[in-house]
Amino acid sequence: MAEELVYVPREALRQLFFTQLVNSGLPEKFSEKTADLMIFADERGIHSHGAVRAEYYSNRIKAKGYNLQPTLHFEQTGPCSGIYHGDNAIGHYVAYKAMEEAIAMAKHKGIAVVGVKEMGHSGAIGYYARQAALEGMVALTVCQSDPMVVPFGGAKPYFGTNPIAFATPKREGKPILFDMATTVQAWGKILDARSKGKMIPDTWAVDDQGEPTTNPHAVAALLPAAGPKGYGLMMMIDILAGSLLGLPFGQHVTSMYKDLSEYRRLGQLHIVINPAFFGDADRFLAQISQMVDELHAIPPSKGFDQVYYPGEIQEMMIEKYRESGIPVAKEIYDYLTQ
């Protein structure tokens, strides 16, 4: 039987996140940004990175698995490059501050490549790419995670879900945002299915025997998206966000769940581009808008109402949930309100 859902208004749910984090011992400035990231995900229907993570964050905070009094600083390493040292603070705040540095650099230098060194889990990384797009920049951000994916042709996990996000402004309206795990689905989707009592497609994951499973509670490892293509992408991302920064890689990345008192030491890489340094910025924005219009004008195939640009349906969820409230599994809602 599917789990009962509670529909919660956006601001009320964000406040529940913030209160839970603060009560667990996370300083307010970190709690504010973490709550922002969680509601950003849930209001777009990315429930793998919203309320379903609340208890995990709370337990890790209580176990001192985040540095609650970190020394954060930005080190510029070249004309267009730098490292933001996260000192194992919660990743949402660290990645946000690192993107601020990257945006400022790109505005003046044309491009910025900023590594984020040693942080905790940073949530839905599309938030950071969109952060740059709201400032008129084009952005690509990648992040490593712990081993929970079998490599193509393998039966034992090696890489993480290693997400990638891209965002660009357009002339009118909200930025375009594309955010994906390099697996068929993110681990959080498994958690969301568990919390809501739902089965999963047999193409998402395998059990401890390496066999496909539809039971989210039997999942031992995830599968790479598009087989060898997703596998190649997750390796590339692990190199850019891990080895490039001198951090643990592949199977050496600290587990998210095994020891909540252990620092994660994760890495992330932000690449930010100022369109004005590569051509006519106005023409660039006009072309992006024209592209969207032309995609919308393509006749839909059978079973579809229209063609949407990547990420557009998630943006549409914001309006839907503004009317209905954001769906949260009752068990999680009860945890947040206890």
Q: Which residues are catalytic?
A: 121
Would you say 139 and 133 are in contact if contact means Cβ atoms under 8 Å apart?
A: yes
| Strands of 138-143's sheet in order across | 73-78, 81-85, 111-119, 266-273, 138-143, 164-168, 176-180
CB count within 10 Å of CB 128 equals 30
HSE-CB of 63 using CA atoms within 13 angstroms: 16
Say which residues have a Cβ less than 8 Å from residue 302's Cβ, sequence separation at least 6. Answer: none
HSE-CB of 56 using CA atoms within 13 angstroms: 22
* Gap between the Cα atoms of 283 and 152, Å rounded: 42
* Gap between the Cα atoms of 178 and 253, Å rounded: 25
Query: Side chain identity at 132, as an amino acid letter?
Result: A
* Gap between the Cα atoms of 191 and 51, Å rounded: 11
* Gap between the Cα atoms of 118 and 113, Å rounded: 16
Of 100, 135, 94, nearest in space to 116 by CA: 94
Max Cα-Cα span within the chain: 57
